[in-house]
Structure 1
Amino acid sequence: MTTTAHPRRTVLITGATRGIGRALAEQLAADGDIVLLSSRDGAAVAAAADEIAGNVRPAGPDPVQIHPIQLDATDPVSVCDAAARIGRDHGHLDVLVNNVGGMFDGPSRASTVQLDTVRATFELNLFSAWRVTQAMLPLLRRGHEARIVNVSSETGSLTRMTAEQPAYGMSKAALNALTRSLAGELAAEGITVHAASPGFTATEAVAEGGRPVPDGAASIKAVIDLPAGSGTGGFFQDGAALPW
């Protein structure tokens, strides 16, 4: 997988005040993209945007542009309000990164996991991305070589799936299925859709181990930076295709 230079893009990242989302925002801002940093916590996302703007040194002549957006991906009203604000302030989107996600089932097994936990996991990892995508599609249709990137996990690969963390793995497998469905639907409009795995990364949700957060974010950024003619409906980690 190769990447290429690109014009300045307007990029929305959900769940981006910390961890992989924030590191990705920093990397894209440094490249000169206009980054819409979003979180359900308005105060936290405003503070994070200010910090990133103050710390990032752009590679090109354009100043860093980080704009905070209050967006609760689990709340339809919040999502619609965010889409309306982006439409008013920016007019379009070039890239949507569905980064919101979480893991709730830990060491559970499919035979014993609480189904309420499974439902909560699917709501956050699947339906939030689906909801945000539907709301942002009109803005993406106005974008340049628009792209949707769903932040998945290699545990969502049916080929690699094990007994570990069934709710999390199945929710990410469902997100991968959504990726494929959207890719098939939107290809005729020139909107590409991919799933990207950051790999096992040392975020706050990981008790120990994992690679540096910027490395996980770079795995997502590589998919955002794919050339427009490189196809749609892929699943990648660190520049290599993962099995579905």
Structure 2
Amino acid sequence: MSERTTHQKVALVTGANKGIGRGAAQHLAALGMTVLIGARDPQRGEQTAAELRAAGGDVHAVTVDVTNPTTIQAAARQVEDRFGHLDVLINNAGITGSGQVSPEDAHDQVPSTVDVDMVRAVFETNVFGVIAATNAMLPLLRRSRAPRIVNVSSHAASLSLTSDPNGPFSALLPSAAYSPSKTALNALTVQYANELRKDGILVNAVAPGYVDTDSNNHTGFLTVAQGAAVLVRLATLGPDGPTAGFFSEEGPLPW
């Protein structure tokens, strides 16, 4: 049965069955949006959606593996058939390449010894997956009155911050996979923003900060809610909001 409405805002968050994505989905649902939980694992997606519905949100699960074009196209068709449009796309799905370790322990990403196949896998999800998901959802976003795209990046993507030998990130191990993938994502964000500016689609990258999630083996010092706040803020920008920017909760970040 179609749930098309002329006013209800619809948001899709990829990788939303846990962590920052789930936090953003929960917050958007609390704001009254219909939220689609994008997840590779249908069972985990349905479980998360059910839990958020139990808390009062209008939340549904959508199977999306950003490295699998078939699932992406199927998800776009589901959104089309059920809602007819999309207002917010949060490209949150991402991998570290190193599994569940803190950034200080990611020895397998050191450029001189890195496994190139691992680098390819990280870029496949963190960069190419964003292109695939965004392009599939763009026709639906163009039907929105206030379309917003938020790409989840990282402070480690900043060339200015990470190249400073006396800066706050000097203790991080050099990375040939995760950090460069997020730098590439930032560059991609600018290019999409430049293309879509004339259409009123605002596109920005966000750095949630060091959030307590599975990806860093729960060594982060920010809560999921704190990390998700900047995603939600950029997803709900007014018409005069920025585009082609890179932001943390504290404000603009250096490229």
TM-score (norm: length of structure 1): 0.91
**Partner SS, residue 211 of structure 1:** coil
CA distance in 2, matches of 1:213, 1:190: 30
1:131 maps to 132
Query: Is 1:172 the counterpart of 2:173 in the alignment?
Result: no
Aligned to 1:60: none
CA positional deviation for 1:24: 0.8
For 1:61, the equivalent position in structure 2 comes to none
Q: Which residues in structure 2 correspond to 1:65-80 (within 5 Å)?
A: 65-80=58-73
1:103 to 2:104 alignment: no
Secondary structure of the structure 1 residue equivalent to 2:138 = helix
SS in 2 for 1:77: helix
**Residue in 1 that maps onto 2:103:** none
CA contact (8 A) 1:121 1:168 kept: yes
Q: How far 1:8 sits from its partner (Å)?
A: 4.7
Q: Which amino acid aligns with 1:70?
A: T
Q: How much has 1:220 moved relative to structure 2?
A: 1.3
Equivalent residues of 1:93, 1:142 under 8 A apart: yes
Q: Find the counterpart in structure 2 of residue 189 from structure 1.
A: 199
Counterpart of 2:240?
229
Q: Give distance in 1, aligned partners of 2:199 and 2:43.
A: 36
Deviations 1:36-72 (A, max 9, x none): 111111111111101111124xxxxxxx210111111
2-side partners of 1:220 and 1:15: how far apart? 13
Runs of at least 4 residues of structure 1 off by over 2 A?
Answer: 161-166
SS at match of 2:95: coil
Q: Is contact 1:197-1:237 (8 Å) kept? A: yes
One-letter amino acid of the counterpart of residue 54, structure 2:
G
**Worse-superposed segment, 103-112 or 42-51:** 103-112
8 A Cα contact 1:223 1:239, kept in partner:
no
Write the letter of the residue equivalent to 1:164.
Answer: P
Query: Is the partner of 1:96 in helix, strand or coil?
Result: strand
Per-residue CA deviation, residues 178-233 of structure 1 (Å, 9 max, x unaligned), is 10000000001111100011101110111323211110011211211222212310
CA distance in 2, matches of 1:50, 1:240: 34
Q: CA deviation at 1:166?
A: 2.7
Residue in structure 2 matched with residue 220 of structure 1 by the alignment: 231
Q: Report the 3-state secondary structure (helix = DSSP H, G, I; strand = E; otherwise coil) of the residue aligned with 2:238.
A: coil
Distance 2:16 2:147 in 1: 20
1:22: which partner in 2? 22
Match of 2:44 in 1: 44
Q: Tell me the CA shift for residue 165 of structure 1.
A: 2.6
Amino acid at match of 2:58: Q
Query: C-alpha distance in 2, partners of 1:8/1:153?
Result: 31
Sequence identity (%):
42
Q: Distance in 2 between matches of 1:90 and 1:121?
A: 32
Q: Is the 8 A contact 1:148 1:194 kept in 2?
A: yes
Within 2, Cα distance between the matches of 1:231 and 1:217?
18
Please list, as runs of the form range in 1=range in 2, the aligned pairs for 1:86-125 lying within 5 A after superposition: 86-105=79-98, 106-107=106-107, 108-125=109-126
Q: What is the Cα-based RMSD across aligned positions, in Å?
A: 1.3
Aligned AA for 2:237? Answer: L
| TM-score between the two structures when normalised by the length of structure 2 | 0.87
Match of 1:198 in 2: 208
Aligned letter for 1:233?
A
Q: How many residues align?
A: 231
Distance 1:209 1:148 in 2: 25
Output the CA distance in 2 between the equivalents of 1:205 and 1:215: 16
Where structure 2 has 5 or more consecutive residues not aligned to the other structure, the ranges are 1-6, 99-105, 164-172
SS at match of 1:120: helix
